[in-house]
Amino acid sequence: MKVKYFADTDTALIEFSNQEIIETREISENVYADFDENGNIVSMTVEHAKANAGLQEFSYQEMPLGEAAQAAG
pLDDT tens across 1-38, in order?
A: 898 989 899 999 999 999 999 999 999 999 999 999 99
Per-residue pLDDT at 73 exceeds 70: no
Give me the pLDDT at residue 26, please. 97
Residue 28 structural domain: 2-72
CA distance 36 to 44: 12
Per-residue pLDDT at 62 exceeds 90: no
pTM over cut 0.85: no
What domain count does the chain have?
Answer: 1
Confidence category of residue 61, pLDDT binned at 50, 70, 90: confident
